[in-house]
């Protein structure tokens, strides 16, 4: 015979079993980051994400919103972690030249690190992407990086660290092109040493202080 107290206990146990499992949000987000980094936005499906993150679709939507919202958060996390070396160099080095030289050296190391997918997420994630919003998000990120370099170069020109005739915009775009090209070459199998040699050549076009 089931008493009223037993029935309540059974009902309570049923409710406990029915609750979604909790998960580590930061860990799940890092797993999503790796998936988007490796396969790009378009080729990474929601079912791929739920499998890789170890959560169900309802939990994914509840925690992160839709796929695009999750990707936007992934890009912010990437910019603050794996992709932060360029911002650090600009903030910490005393000249634009030193900052760019350090950025290129660290890009060679980061883009070929076997601990994660090769190359840069911001460069590659929109490959074959049909989402105009995602393409715009990544394009704005890349252009913002170039603009930050150009601003730093102009400051050095104004301070007399670089010659007055230095074309800051062109020099910043050259740096951006090198970084994006190094990312693609890393995806194609270039080694750290090969990219470091490329970085050294890239710096030879800079005007002398």
Give yes or no for residue 4 having a pLDDT over 70.
no
Tell me if 80 sits within 8 A of 141, measured CB to CB.
no
| 67-82 per-residue burial string, b: 16 or more CB within 10 A, e: under 16 | beebbebbbebbbeeb
141-185 pLDDT per residue, tens: 999 999 999 999 999 999 999 999 999 999 999 999 999 999 999
95-140 pLDDT per residue, tens: 999 999 999 999 999 999 999 999 999 999 988 888 999 999 999 9
Give yes or no for residue 202 having a pLDDT over 90.
yes
Alpha-helical (H) ranges within the chain are 4-18, 25-39, 46-53, 57-64, 67-80, 85-92, 96-111, 121-124, 132-158, 168-187, 192-203
In whole angstroms, give the CA distance from residue 145 to residue 82.
15
Q: Supply the pTM of this predicted model.
A: 0.85
49-81 pLDDT per residue, tens: 999 999 999 989 999 999 999 999 999 999 999
Give yes or no for residue 18 having a pLDDT over 70.
no
- The confidence band for 12, taking pLDDT boundaries of 50, 70 and 90, is very low
What domains are there in the chain, each with its CATH number? 25-65 (1.10.10.60), 82-204 (1.10.357.10)
Largest CA distance in the chain: 94
Q: What is the DSSP letter of 125?
A: T
Tell me if 23 sits within 8 A of 56, measured CB to CB.
no
């Amino acid at each position: 015979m089931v008493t009223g107290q037993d029935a309540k206990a059974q009902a309570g146990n049923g409710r406990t079993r029915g609750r979604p499992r909790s998960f580590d949000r930061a860990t799940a987000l890092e797993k999503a980051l790796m998936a988007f980094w490796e396969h790009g936005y378009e080729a990474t499906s929601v079912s791929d994400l739920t499998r890789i993150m170890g959560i169900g679709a309802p939990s994914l939507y509840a925690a992160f919103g839709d796929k695009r919202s999750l990707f936007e958060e992934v890009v912010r996390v990437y910019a603050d972690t794996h992709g932060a070396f360029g911002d650090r160099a600009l903030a910490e080095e005393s000249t634009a030249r030193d900052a760019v030289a350090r950025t290129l050296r660290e890009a060679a190391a980061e883009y070929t690190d076997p601990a994660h997918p090769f190359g840069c997420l911001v460069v590659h994630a929109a490959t074959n992407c049909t989402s105009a919003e995602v393409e715009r998000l990544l394009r704005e990120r890349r252009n913002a990086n170039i603009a930050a370099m150009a601003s730093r170069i102009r400051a050095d020109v104004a301070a007399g660290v670089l010659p007055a005739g230095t074309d800051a915009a062109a020099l910043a775009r050259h740096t951006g092109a090198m970084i994006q090209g190094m990312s693609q070459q890393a995806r194609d199998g270039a080694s750290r040493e090969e990219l470091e040699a490329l970085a050294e050549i890239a710096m030879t076009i800079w005007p002398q202080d």
